[in-house]
Amino acid sequence: MGSIHAGVQKRSWKTRLEAKEKRIAQMKDITRDNIIPTNRIVEALENLITPGDRVVLEGNNQKQAAFLSEALSQTNPKKLYDLHMIISSISRPEHLDLFELGIAKKIDFSYAGPQSLRMAQMLEDGKLTMGEIHTYVELYGRLFIDLIPSIALVAADKADSAGNLYTGANTEETPTLVEAAAFRDGIVIAQVNELTDELPRVDIPGSWIDYVVVADKPYQLEPLFTRDPRHITDIQVLQAMMMIRGIYERHEVQSLNHGIGYNTAAIELLLPTYGESLGLKGKICKHWALNPHPTLIPAIESGWVESVHCFGGEVGMEKYVESRRDVFFTGRDGSLRSNRTLCQLAGQYAVDLFVGSTLQIDRMGNSSTVTSGRLAGFGGAPNMGHDPGGRRHSTPAWLNMMTHDDPLARGRKLVVQVAETFQTGNKPVFVESLDALDVKNDTGLATTPIMIYGEDVTHVVTEEGIAYLYKATSIEERKRAIEAIAGVTPIGLKHDVKRSDKLRKEGLIALPEDLGIRRTDAKRSLLAAKNVADLVDWSEGLYEPPMKFRSW
């Protein structure tokens, strides 16, 4: 009998490994070990990367592999071109310089806040090709499926001679990016602040790392989640009071995620004062998925917070975190162990509530931060700002979202959108049609870039009141509830007073007075800390704010 393989041409099953070995062989004139000399990094990148490669670059919304991104932008476009860049957050000018110079051609990303205007213009000018706008977890997931990188460029605090990495408080997305490349025969290059004989702990093993280079300066770290209490307004205090009373207390919210913003900072600073007056300590806000916000310090010190898992660190909070081990996830060395991928998953599946802000909301409650001429992306909001169908564990808040007694009924995550009815420049937040629809048409995106879909939103909060959308029994009722709390925006002007009174009686909307809140009581004097100096005092001097937040 003939072989079943007769006529089948013999093939190599190690083509990726062979390609990697060939690239590494080209490095013998630059380095004989795994350490790339700092002044030869550009030359090294030209040897290790080939045209058309998929290159994943660490550039999340806080931690930036800035030395490597700058070096990549200095490579010769005649040697390196048509790269497919994968960057979770397009935050630095050179990220887009790569496309202006012709080094890169295609981009897949999650967020482009600081570069959103330039990004939109370059797309319109045909300077780059768009892959997709992702959520963080979605992008990380695709690194293991159909966006497997050939090269990973990451950042760490320290490395030893074996290439073991210590990432300290800002582990963030580094392990995920490294793993996707290291276990598919990609090349991993890590910039570090220093080489040392002994590491405080090993966060990523050296066997995953191909090359280490000492950067000419420490990697960039943005204090993204720090908010100065001085800038919290009386309106934001009012919204925070409504949320504590009308959402957190009412639904017994014990686990939650707070996004970036003064709205949520106000809530954190009201827990030890207003929350205390309501007798809510130990009943709400015990478990958190968020960065170590300085505005959370008073609540921690007052005994409200039991645990905090973090996406990343926060500049100046290192000593405080180390001294509060019972609350934070820390290593043997005492420093924070953050993880952007795992915290996103925790925020998606393990918390009762997500609070987010946005730039535009339509009549159905759909929202987006993608507006005309601004391609901001989403970050992690859609991961945490939706009801995950795979959830099976129950909590009081989750069960409280059930609106019928069907034997197969399930709970829901609370997804809250909080916004003032008008944003800076007197632009209405509540609009008839989202700009995202025009952006879709102008850029050729396959779908409209919605950040959080209205069907997932359970509550909308403005300075006017709360809309309990999860109670709506029809699309029309949902629209009317949003109109009732949309103020004098184009949407709000459609509301009818008699109809709104009916919605109040039925519990679909609540004004401050319905919650026992007097608008005149909503003052900054309720905040547990009025400025950054107060936060330092609360921390017993352990919080060391960046200079730009020091006003004393």
Which pLDDT band, with edges at 50, 70 and 90, does 1 fall under? low
What is the spatial distance between Cα 363 and Cα 383, in angstroms, rounded to a whole number?
22
Residues 205-220: tens digit of each pLDDT: 999 999 999 999 999 8
What pLDDT is attached to residue 527?
A: 98
For residue 66, give the H/E element and its range.
Answer: helix 66-73
Q: Do residues 106 and 99 make contact, with C-beta atoms less than 8 angstroms apart?
A: no
Residues 30-60: tens digit of each pLDDT: 998 999 999 999 999 999 999 999 999 999 8
| Residue 303, token pair as written in the block | 């005994």
| Residue 400, token pair as written in the block | 């409280």
* DSSP character string of 110-165: EE-TTTHHHHHHHHHTTSSEEEEE-BHHHHHHHTTTT---SEEEEEEEEE-TT--E
Mean predicted lDDT score pLDDT of the chain: 95
**Residue 236 backbone dihedrals phi, psi, to 5 degrees:** -65, -35
pLDDT at 2 over 60: no
What pLDDT is attached to residue 3?
A: 64
- Classified as helix, coil or strand, 86 is strand
- Classified as helix, coil or strand, 446 is coil
Tell me which residue of 262, 244, 259, 289 sits closest to 451, measured CA to CA: 259
What pLDDT is attached to residue 256?
A: 98
Mention every residue, 6+ apart, whose C-beta is less than 8 A from residue 426: none
What is the spatial distance between Cα 442 and Cα 215, in angstroms, rounded to a whole number?
40
pLDDT at 184 over 80: yes
Residues 227-249: tens digit of each pLDDT: 999 999 999 999 999 999 999 99
Which pLDDT band, with edges at 50, 70 and 90, does 443 fall under? confident
For the purposes of burial, counting CB atoms within 10 Å of the CB of 326, is it exposed (0-12), middle (13-18) or buried (19 or more)?
exposed
**DSSP structural state of residue 469:** G
**Residue 471 backbone dihedrals phi, psi, to 5 degrees:** -85, -15
Higher-scoring residue by pLDDT: 193, 440: 193
Q: Provide Rg for the chain, Cα atoms.
A: 25
- Classified as helix, coil or strand, 169 is helix
Residues 68-121: tens digit of each pLDDT: 999 999 999 999 999 999 999 999 999 999 999 999 999 999 999 788 889 888
* DSSP character string of 295-362: GGHHHHHTT--SEEE-SS--TT-HHHHHT-TTTB-B-TTS-B---HHHHHHHHHHT-SEEEE--SEE-
Residues 159-168: tens digit of each pLDDT: 999 999 999 9
Tell me which residue of 322, 306, 383 sits closest to 111, measured CA to CA: 383
Tell me how far CA of residue 97 lies from CA of 207, 251, 520, in angstroms.
32, 48, 51
What pLDDT is attached to residue 306?
A: 98
What is the spatial distance between Cα 547 and Cα 493, in angstroms, rounded to a whole number?
44
- How many Å separate Cα 413 from the centre of its chain? 18
| Residue 20, token pair as written in the block | 């990697």
- Classified as helix, coil or strand, 352 is coil
Q: Are strands 466-468 and 509-510 parallel, antiparallel or unpaired?
A: antiparallel
The total of other beta-carbon atoms located within 10 Å of residue 440's CB is 17
* DSSP character string of 402-461: --S--TT-----EEEEE--SEETTTEESB-SS-HHHHHHHHHT-SS---SB-GGG--EEE
What is the spatial distance between Cα 269 and Cα 324, in angstroms, rounded to a whole number?
18
What is the spatial distance between Cα 436 and Cα 450, in angstroms, rounded to a whole number?
7
Q: Do residues 122 and 141 make contact, with C-beta atoms less than 8 angstroms apart?
A: no
Q: Do residues 152 and 177 make contact, with C-beta atoms less than 8 angstroms apart?
A: yes
pLDDT at 224 over 90: no
What pLDDT is attached to residue 276?
A: 98
Cα angle at 39 between 38 and 44, to 5 degrees?
80
Q: Using H for helix, E for strand and C for coil, what is the string for 209-252?
A: CCEEEECCCCCEECCCCCCCHHHCCHHHHHHHHHHHHHHHHHHC
Which pLDDT band, with edges at 50, 70 and 90, does 371 fall under? confident
pLDDT at 297 over 70: yes
Q: Where are the alpha helices (DSSP H) in 389-495?
A: 396-399, 435-443, 475-484
What is the spatial distance between Cα 62 and Cα 67, in angstroms, rounded to a whole number?
15
Which pLDDT band, with edges at 50, 70 and 90, does 440 fall under? confident
pLDDT at 503 over 90: yes
**DSSP structural state of residue 265:** H
Domains belonging to the chain, first-starting first, are: 13-221 (3.40.1080.10), 229-537 (3.40.1080.10)
Tokens 């103020």: give the residue.
487
What is the spatial distance between Cα 268 and Cα 297, in angstroms, rounded to a whole number?
9
Q: Do residues 244 and 459 make contact, with C-beta atoms less than 8 angstroms apart?
A: no
What is the spatial distance between Cα 363 and Cα 85, in angstroms, rounded to a whole number?
36
**DSSP structural state of residue 429:** S
What is the spatial distance between Cα 444 and Cα 147, in angstroms, rounded to a whole number?
21
Residues 399-421: tens digit of each pLDDT: 999 998 899 999 999 999 999 99
Which pLDDT band, with edges at 50, 70 and 90, does 369 fall under? confident
What is the pTM assigned to this prediction? 0.94
